[in-house]
A and B are shown apart, each in its own frame.
Chain A
Amino acid sequence: MSQKPTIRPFCAVLASAAIIGVPATATSSTDTPELSHTTVLSDLENPWDMAFLPDGTMFFTEKCRGLSVRLPDGEVNNLLGMEGTEGYATTTDDLVCQGQAGMNGVAIDPDFDENRTIYVYSASSMSDPRTNRVLRLKVNSDVSNVSDRTDIVDDIAYKPAPTDHPFGDAGAHNGGRIRFDRDGRFLYVTTGDTHNGEVPQSPTRLGSKVLRIDRDGKAAEGNNPPEGFDPRTFTYGHRNVQGLTFHPKTGQPIVTEHGPWHSDEVNALVNGGNSGWDPRPNMAGRGDCPDDYCGYEPNQNEGMDPKERAAYMPLTDTETYPDALQPAWKNNNLSQGISGADFLTGDQWGAWNGRLLVGFMGIGFGGTPVGQRISMIDIAEDGLSVNDVAEMPLPMGSARFRSIVQGPDGDLFVAVDEGAIYRITPE
């Protein structure tokens, strides 16, 4: 790791002060807030995730650049840069970016005041073939650099080469969200199927899993996967999970899962559960498939009725796996790029207090509307159904909503692929 003193380019600091306050009218209910927004940061490169300290300090990742932090006064320090980047306090050439992969999730240790520890999920070339890793890092006293890198997980699946599939480049279906549970006890890590038919139901390959680990990367006490599974497995049989949060009352982990040209899902996880994704060839009535992955069949390149598609290649295959986790919501059988998720809490949000927010990046394929939006979902407390779904009236318009995080003062922060992080305030 080379050391380079730096702060972020001045323009980003200026941008952090920019205010674009455009109120948006909420729904007709009198108990719903009006929203305004400010642009916290702009001119970013694919911002992917954020994590906050109680004082508003915001760590954030950019997929092909690395880890940075915005301090409460607006100053931005670039902490950990990836291969080919400049201007970071530390650069590490094994951290690589390709396709959907790169530096993804970031989480702050619940005991940060004592241990100054944070975690990031990143693709790495340190292994051959490449893997995704969870890095544990120590933040220095003035929040200008990181050190003491320890890769607490170094064997998460990564797609090493292109295949004949939609979005078929290397690095696809890479998962990447990491969050501590509400007790601050264990770290959850979401992974993707890497366009590999074998990975989702594999007991040992760390893709298509939600991992639950301790701060050293060891399996969390109480994990209950089937016999023979990697003990770090909390749930398995996922396709590509990019949203992860925890129910504010029950603490149950809730994830969002990208659908295969149909049926984005919201799933409430149960320890040891199978989410029911199995894209292997010659399974469940399907034959051979391109590069042994049936995930977009029966017709991966042309549109067709999403319900017909779902019947042929379900995201949750309850016929093969009758005990599979049941989705709480399936986005009306459409796939529109479901991504970040968080619960909205606090009285200032009025009727929306307690709603699950889910961001959509938008995909316009086969007649499906692009669908860029943030949905507000009233999810049942048992996580098995939804009572209501509404669209958040966004003051800044639509975008590719990658990450959604409620900040320490209750405002909402959203990162969009267009290169900005917005702050949304209820009034």
Chain B
Amino acid sequence: MKRRCHQAAPLHASLRLSFDSNTTYLEKTTMKRPLFFGITAALTIGWASAQAADMSAGKTMFADACAQCHGPTGKGMASFPSLRGRDTDYIESRLKQYRAGERVGANSSLMIPNAANLSDDDIANLAAYIAENFD
């Protein structure tokens, strides 16, 4: 089972917080119209998931920025490691470490500048594409 998009997590968290409170506007609103809220929340979460798992964007980014070293099928080349069998958690975690300038492994000098300007969405898209396509 692939991990769901990470953007959904803050939404879940905010919902959970709102239901824990007796005084928020959101709670009052949702308590009065639970069905409407449920549909809205479901649609919102679904939309967020679709955005995060933008395979097409991930595929394009991979082809442009990753395939030259990791290979078009992610199997690794030369001294560049294979990405096969890596789940989204792993890929996201590594890319965020590199984005933060953290050195992880012998190719950090190449990965840090490559990850420096990635957005959270970029990372989620790449992670989803890699995890889904390079089992």
- Footprint of B on A, CB under 8 Å? 46, 63, 99-100, 162, 165-169, 171-172, 296, 300-303, 361-366, 370, 372, 400, 402, 417-419
B112 surroundings in chain A (CB, below 8 A): 301
Q: Does the CB pair B78–A46 fall under 8 Å?
A: yes
5 shortest A-B CB distances, which residue pairs? A417-B77, A166-B109, A168-B106, A169-B106, A99-B79
- Chain B's closest residue to A302 (CB) is B113
Q: Does the CB pair A172–B77 fall under 8 Å?
A: no
Q: Does the CB pair A301–B107 fall under 8 Å?
A: no
Tell me, in angstroms, the Cα distance from A227 to B125 when the chains sit together.
60
User: How many residues of chain B are within 8 Å of chain A by beta carbon?
Assistant: 18
Q: Does the CB pair B109–A417 fall under 8 Å?
A: no
Known: A168-B106, A171-B79. 12 other contacts (CB 8 A): A166-B106, A166-B109, A169-B79, A301-B109, A302-B113, A363-B110, A364-B114, A400-B68, A400-B78, A417-B77, A417-B78, A418-B77
A372 surroundings in chain B (CB, below 8 A): 68
B103 surroundings in chain A (CB, below 8 A): 301
Q: Does the CB pair A362–B107 fall under 8 Å?
A: no
Q: Does the CB pair B79–A365 fall under 8 Å?
A: no
Q: List 15 A-B contacts (CB under 8 A).
A: A46-B78, A63-B78, A100-B78, A166-B107, A167-B79, A167-B107, A167-B109, A172-B79, A296-B109, A364-B68, A364-B110, A365-B109, A372-B68, A400-B68, A419-B71
A399 to chain B, nearest CB (A): 9
- Chain B's closest residue to A99 (CB) is B79
A73 to chain B, nearest CB (A): 29
Tell me, in angstroms, the Cα distance from A301 to B102 when the chains sit together.
11
Q: Does the CB pair B113–A365 fall under 8 Å?
A: yes
A187 to chain B, nearest CB (A): 25
Which of A165, A168, A362, A402 is packed against the most chain B CB atoms within 10 Å?
A168
From the candidates B68, B107, B109, name the one contacting A300 in the complex (CB within 8 A): B109
